[in-house]
Amino acid sequence: MSTLRFEALKQTFNRKPVKIEEPSKRSELFGSNVFNTSVMKQFLTKEAYKSVADAIKTGSKIDRGVAEHISSGMKQWAMAKGATHYTHWFQPLTGSTAEKHDAFFETTGDGGAIEKFGGGALVQQEPDASSFPNGGIRNTFEARGYTAWDPTSPAFIWGTTLCIPTVFVSYTGEALDYKTPLLRALQAVDQSATAVAKYFDKNVSKVNATLGWEQEYFLIDSALAATRPDLQLSGRTLLGHAPAKGQQLDDHYFGSIPSRILAFMRDLEIECMKLGIPVKTRHNEVAPNQFELAPIFEEANLAVDHNSLIMDVMGKIAEKHHFKVVLHEKPFAGINGSGKHNNWSLGTDTGTNLLSPGSTPMKNLQFLTFFVNIIKAVYENEELLRASIASASNDHRLGANEAPPAIISVFIGSQLTAVLDELEKVTDGKLSPQEKTELKLNVVGKIPEILLDNTDRNRTSPFAFTGNKFEFRAVGSLQNCASPMTVLNTIVAKQLKDFKVEVDKLIKEKKMKKDDAIFNILREYIKDSKKIRFEGDGYGEAWEKEAEKRGLSNNKKTPEALKVQISEETIKLYEELEVMNKVEIEARHEIELEEYAMRIQIEGRILGDIARNHVIPTAIRYQNILIKNVRGIKEIYAEHYKKHADEQLDIIEKVSGHIAAINSKVGEMIEARKVANQIEDAEEKAVAYCNDVRPHFDEIRYHCDKLELLVDDELWPLTKYRELLFTR
């Protein structure tokens, strides 16, 4: 009997939900471990508070002397909450978060010690960064990296550590993390969007991008997960036969949340409340043991931090409940994968959601202006948007008939389509008073009513307008939201900037009224960007053909999807908006290619090991049992034995066939890896892994899965899909 698997199953069957003490009002817990505005007012001097508040609002620098006051207030607060250490918390390009803890404790030199946290330690640190990916930046510039405080994301206490959100940059100023370009993109979109919003409301002085993510994940019992080296090391199963019953009955989606899972969710939510992460929604997802969690939306930088933080917090809380959190986009073949919808909008400091139609025609023209510009931005940069969500793991999901395709398109619903169709007919040049009245009354003026009953949400669209926000649905569950958010905000910033120039030109040169000019430019944009709009079934084959005709990209694999990141246009775009320079862009591109090749390399090694060390020996053991059986039959029946051993002999031969196939295909895969490993160029190497190594996985898996069906269940060492997915 395969001891480990059955031991794990026994452990799982005996588990009870962990008891969770929950306060009746979550609002009382909210933000209790966050150094937020109200705490700052309490622990900081007036001057120090003002300095932080200004830095948050305008990005102004914090003076070194003031930093001393801030750090001292922060330390006092953190120690009162039981914190003993502090860390600069940042998001290196590995996709997770990094932290190095330092104690507040310092010796005084006279044999004594004090608790200290100076302004310098708050503002800047130098982590030993040599192990973080840098795409050659540090080598080129001989530069070291440092972390610097980002006051727009408040410090928080996690466990007994005060965590200070920081950016991570090289000494020559190049970004080495996700946050730095994101902050620059948010600044760019603020600038462009504020200028455009001023057409409609002079009082607007800042525009914030908002993000509400929805995180999908699987929970697998930790004992069961421990029996699967593939799940442990690569985050997904590399083999495993489909269970007899999957998700086809939808009974999980509509069923109640299982009690052990609910205990985990409540525990997680309590921690989130303390950390100021405004989680609101929890539910079962389509696949068995798949779930979703979503907060109320926040300013994008904070929302990105909160998502990075929660992915970490989930793992820690899950340990307590004997679960492994699986964030991979496709942990189980044939079973629904996980995504992370990014709900995104733009909001002004006057409290207006720029993607929410208002009560007056002018407000609606504002809505249409942003709406149309965003569609145009997506059209012009669809390939870059696709690149922002490319990864080895997300490749399994995009275009797999359960998730948006690798083709980017925009869904807006039939009513808004009708509005844009009307706007397309607007007169070229100055509008007559009648036309304007007609437009205001019957087109622009009708929008709020339209949206209320716009219920035809298209679930197959990668980029859908959903009433008062756009929803980017192709983002991967494992991904840091910063990449797609950086691209989206950059391209919208650029588009709005160009729009402003064009409108101003018509006003100045053609002596047009402001709204005439806006209508004229919008009309052209609507025409120009029509090809990106698609209301049909994004999962269908017909769309692939249609998209090709329209000239839209369909980059199914990461190496080809990433190409656009270093095109001349992309570099021009990022440099113009000051989001990234050429060095940073190229470094990032290389890091992503390297990461892609590494992921496939790791998967290949794991699959090879499992196939040769687990599957083949098990198959041989079973075959030996059969051989013994056949020998026994022969002893009894002599020359007539075949009549009674026919099936056994057939299985023996089948097992041999699969063993031979697995062994030779693993050998071929190893050879292909050896060749790929010789390649120096990052892109060529990624392509080799994609085209020459990865295809072997399916072949090897096919034979392993066939053996799983043949071999005695008692002997099979790897926990099966039905056990991973239906035990909880």
Residues at the interface with Mg ion (CB under 5 A): 214, 341
Q: Which does 95 bind (CB under 5 to 8 A by kind): ligand ADP, Mg ion, none?
A: none
Query: In angstroms, rounded to a whole number, what is the distance separating the alpha carbons of residues 455 and 453?
Result: 6
Q: Does 466 engage in binding with ligand ADP (CB under 6 A)?
A: yes
> Please, which residue, 214 or 383, has the CB nearer to Mg ion?
214
Task: Among 297, 367, 379, 465, indicate the residue that binds ligand ADP (CB under 6 A).
Answer: 297
CB of 158 to Mg ion, least distance (A): 27
8 A C-beta contact, residue 371 and residue 353: no
Task: Among 174, 214, 560, 592, indicate the residue that binds ligand ADP (CB under 6 A).
Answer: 214
Length of the chain (residues):
728
CA–chain centroid gap for 77, Å, is 33
CB of 313 to ligand ADP, least distance (A): 18
Q: Which of 259, 279, 255, 261 is nearest to 269 (CA)?
A: 279
Cβ neighbours of residue 449 closer than 8 Å, sequence gap 6 or more = none
DSSP string, 214-237: EEEEEEEEHHHHHT-HHHHHHSS-
8 A C-beta contact, residue 688 and residue 694: no
Query: In angstroms, rounded to a whole number, what is the distance separating the alpha carbons of residues 94 and 537?
Result: 35
CB of 342 to ligand ADP, least distance (A): 8
Site string for ligand ADP, 267-296 (x = CB under 6 A): ---------------------------x-x
> Please, which residue, 177 or 292, has the CB nearer to ligand ADP?
292
CA atoms within 13 A on the CB side of 33: 19
Could you report how far apart the first and last alpha carbons of the chain are, in Å?
A: 23
Q: Does 210 engage in binding with ligand ADP (CB under 6 A)?
A: yes
Q: Which of 469, 205, 484 is nearest to 339 (CA)?
A: 484
> Please, which residue, 86 or 344, has the CB nearer to ligand ADP?
344
Q: Does 212 engage in binding with ligand ADP (CB under 6 A)?
A: yes
Cβ neighbours of residue 29 closer than 8 Å, sequence gap 6 or more = 23, 270, 273, 274
Tell me which amino acid residue 443 is: V
Q: Does 345 engage in binding with ligand ADP (CB under 6 A)?
A: yes
Vertex 36: Cα angle to 30 and 37 (nearest 5): 120
The tokens describing 704, both together, are: 């392993």
CB of 270 to Mg ion, least distance (A): 24
Task: Among 468, 581, 601, 663, indicate the residue that binds ligand ADP (CB under 6 A).
Answer: 468
Q: Does 492 engage in binding with ligand ADP (CB under 6 A)?
A: no
Stretch that binds ligand ADP, among 128-136, 466-474, 508-516, 681-689 (CB under 6 A): 466-474
> Please, which residue, 214 or 590, has the CB nearer to Mg ion?
214
Burial of residue 226 (number of CB atoms within 10 Å: 0-12, 13-18, 19+): middle
Instruction: Kindly identify the residues of this chain, within the stretch 53-72, that bind ligand ADP according to CB under 6 A.
Output: none
Q: Which does 497 bind (CB under 5 to 8 A by kind): ligand ADP, Mg ion, none?
A: none
CB of 670 to ligand ADP, least distance (A): 43
92 bridge partner residues: 177
DSSP-derived secondary structure letter, 535: -
Q: Does 469 engage in binding with ligand ADP (CB under 6 A)?
A: yes
Query: In angstroms, rounded to a whole number, what is the distance separating the alpha carbons of residues 650 and 642?
Result: 11
Strand ranges (E), 249-394: 279-284, 290-295, 298-299, 323-326, 340-348
CB of 371 to ligand ADP, least distance (A): 13
Q: Does 604 engage in binding with ligand ADP (CB under 6 A)?
A: no
Query: In angstroms, rounded to a whole number, what is the distance separating the alpha carbons of residues 234 and 139?
Result: 29
Stretch that binds ligand ADP, among 207-215, 307-315, 379-387, 651-659 (CB under 6 A): 207-215
List C-alpha distances in Å: 416 to 260, 375, 412, 447: 44, 12, 6, 8
Q: Which does 720 bind (CB under 5 to 8 A by kind): Mg ion, ligand ADP, none?
A: none
Stretch that binds ligand ADP, among 133-141, 338-346, 409-417, 615-623 (CB under 6 A): 338-346
Q: Does 353 engage in binding with ligand ADP (CB under 6 A)?
A: yes
Q: How many residues bind ligand ADP (CB under 6 A)?
A: 15
The tokens describing 148, both together, are: 């610097």
Q: Which does 274 bind (CB under 5 to 8 A by kind): ligand ADP, Mg ion, none?
A: none
Longest dimension (CA), the chain: 106
Query: In angstroms, rounded to a whole number, what is the distance separating the alpha carbons of residues 374 and 211?
Result: 15
CB of 467 to ligand ADP, least distance (A): 8
> Please, which residue, 283 or 582, has the CB nearer to Mg ion?
283
Between helix 482-509 and helix 361-380 the angle, nearest 10°, is 120
Measured from the Cβ of residue 668, the count of other Cβ atoms closer than 10 Å reads 16
The tokens describing 622, both together, are: 């079973």
The tokens describing 43, both together, are: 């622990």
Q: Which does 191 bind (CB under 5 to 8 A by kind): ligand ADP, Mg ion, none?
A: none
Q: Does 454 engage in binding with ligand ADP (CB under 6 A)?
A: no
CB of 479 to Mg ion, least distance (A): 15
Q: Residue number with the shortest CB distance to Mg ion?
A: 341
CB of 340 to ligand ADP, least distance (A): 11
**Phi, psi angle pair for 168, to nearest 5°:** -130, 110
Q: Residue number with the shortest CB distance to ligand ADP?
A: 212
219 bridge partner residues: 325
Q: Which does 297 bind (CB under 5 to 8 A by kind): Mg ion, ligand ADP, none?
A: ligand ADP
Q: Does 216 engage in binding with ligand ADP (CB under 6 A)?
A: no
Q: Does 341 engage in binding with ligand ADP (CB under 6 A)?
A: yes
Q: Which does 124 bind (CB under 5 to 8 A by kind): Mg ion, ligand ADP, none?
A: none
> Please, which residue, 307 or 388, has the CB nearer to ligand ADP?
307
> Please, which residue, 457 or 621, has the CB nearer to ligand ADP?
457
CB of 462 to Mg ion, least distance (A): 12
Q: Which does 723 bind (CB under 5 to 8 A by kind): Mg ion, ligand ADP, none?
A: none
Q: Which does 32 bind (CB under 5 to 8 A by kind): Mg ion, ligand ADP, none?
A: none
DSSP-derived secondary structure letter, 537: -
Tell me which amino acid residue 3 is: T
Query: In angstroms, rounded to a whole number, what is the distance separating the alpha carbons of residues 500 and 521?
Result: 10
Q: Tokens 């009974």 belong to which residue?
A: 251
CB of 546 to ligand ADP, least distance (A): 25
Tell me which amino acid residue 220 is: I
Q: Does 343 engage in binding with ligand ADP (CB under 6 A)?
A: yes
CB of 302 to ligand ADP, least distance (A): 12
Query: In angstroms, rounded to a whole number, what is the distance separating the alpha carbons of residues 618 and 281?
Result: 44
Query: In angstroms, rounded to a whole number, what is the distance separating the alpha carbons of residues 124 and 223?
Result: 42
Stretch that binds ligand ADP, among 1-9, 47-55, 205-213, 647-655 (CB under 6 A): 205-213
Q: Does 443 engage in binding with ligand ADP (CB under 6 A)?
A: no
> Please, which residue, 241 or 469, has the CB nearer to ligand ADP?
469
The tokens describing 311, both together, are: 């992915």
Q: Which does 97 bind (CB under 5 to 8 A by kind): ligand ADP, Mg ion, none?
A: none
Q: Does 465 engage in binding with ligand ADP (CB under 6 A)?
A: no
Contacts with ligand ADP, residue ranges (CB under 6 A): 210-212, 214, 294, 296-297, 341, 343-345, 353, 466, 468-469
